[in-house]
Structure 1
């Protein structure tokens, strides 16, 4: 493929995730990814700051999905219901990726690399904090906003782990709803 053909970003992401699986994340270079995608290294850096960002490039869209859904929740929704709506919307975003296997392969790469696990937790923490601020913008007490955001984030995180490790065609948004229901049922 020529470097000027359309779809370079998608080809780069696909090449990276393949190479991160074999030979592995640590062994893969930007040059390897660019070569596999049929583009130059310069083209790689036009789309991604470094090889980690291939795995985290959707973080801003994920966060925006959470915040948009929280803001759109009914005015009388509880803090937990609004936060749950945010993370359920984000679950739909993840489940409906153009490459349906990408989230699972991404999760496997992250699980195998401690530095990527740290990055993932930092990104999730950032989303949780932003969700708490969005709840505060709705008039929720700051402590209650933090509790609701962290509870919904925990439900999302556990749902995602269940989803990527399951061979069954479970829906990620449904798993988030299940996690929220389990939080409500705690005694």
Structure 2
């Protein structure tokens, strides 16, 4: 009969993050993580596929979650507002994860392998958002452009949230980043020659 380990997943995640921050992601093994957590490798395998999964656990659900939210958004919302509404909804769910997000981001920033994984993750989010916008009737290339801009707004806000974890939550930072983008664009009047 398997022995129940209280808070095993959290213990493994915390041990992994501590070790990654102390020695660098590449210099830590799964065995070292389990030893630090006081658990077995079998326990690790119940929760995570590999040590990278400790950092990106649950992120594979993000594209579908966001796409579903965009598809379910009020039909009266313009396409980009539907994207922002979905991103703010995701941020609301992440509200209590600030301390963990700060540590994760610090680890990812030190590893080219993890940075590449992060880029792949955001590419999947962009594709899912663009698909959802097309399902709502947004034409190409606008659907892809708006999805890319939405992801850029999210990443900017997320970076600020983890750089300055204070009272300003991620949803507010997303709204602020989107507003700053809109302000900086102003009333664009680009009449350059499109043939060049």
TM-score, length of structure 2 as denominator length: 0.87
Alignment correspondent of 1:127: 125
For residues 66 and 6 of structure 1, what CA distance do their matches in structure 2 show?
32
Deviation at 1:90, TM superposition (A): 1.9
Deviation at 1:151, TM superposition (A): 0.9
Alignment pair present for 1:4 and 2:4: yes
1:141 aligns to what SS in structure 2? coil
- Whether the 8 Å contact between 1:163 and 1:171 is mirrored in structure 2 is yes
Deviation at 1:17, TM superposition (A): 0.9
Alignment correspondent of 1:149: 147
How is 1:34-53 mapped onto 2 (pairs within 5 angstroms)? 34-53=34-53
2:27 aligns to what SS in structure 1? coil
- Whether the 8 Å contact between 2:24 and 2:110 is mirrored in structure 1 is no
Alignment correspondent of 1:31: 31
Of 102, 110, 113 in structure 2, the residue corresponding to residue 112 of structure 1 is 110
For residues 54 and 179 of structure 2, what CA distance do their matches in structure 1 show?
33
Deviation at 1:77, TM superposition (A): 0.9
Runs of 4+ displaced beyond 6 Å: none
Deviation at 1:167, TM superposition (A): 4.9
Deviation at 1:181, TM superposition (A): 1.6
Alignment correspondent of 1:140: 138
For residues 27 and 128 of structure 2, what CA distance do their matches in structure 1 show?
34
For residues 134 and 179 of structure 1, what CA distance do their matches in structure 2 show?
22
2:141 aligns to what SS in structure 1? helix
Deviation at 1:3, TM superposition (A): 5.6
How is 1:58-97 mapped onto 2 (pairs within 5 angstroms)? 58-97=58-97
Question: What's the CA shift string for 1:165-187, capped at 9, x where partnerless?
Answer: 11532211111111212232314
Label 1:29 to 1:3 Cα distance change in 2 as closer, same or farther (>3 A). farther
For residues 169 and 112 of structure 1, what CA distance do their matches in structure 2 show?
26
List gaps (5 residues or longer) in structure 1.
none
Q: Could you say which structure has the larger radius of gyration?
A: 2
Alignment coverage as a number of residue pairs:
184
List gaps (5 residues or longer) in structure 2.
189-196
Label 1:65 to 1:92 Cα distance change in 2 as closer, same or farther (>3 A). farther
For residues 165 and 129 of structure 2, what CA distance do their matches in structure 1 show?
31
Label 1:77 to 1:66 Cα distance change in 2 as closer, same or farther (>3 A). same
- Whether the 8 Å contact between 1:159 and 1:175 is mirrored in structure 2 is yes
For residues 45 and 89 of structure 2, what CA distance do their matches in structure 1 show?
30
For residues 91 and 60 of structure 1, what CA distance do their matches in structure 2 show?
16
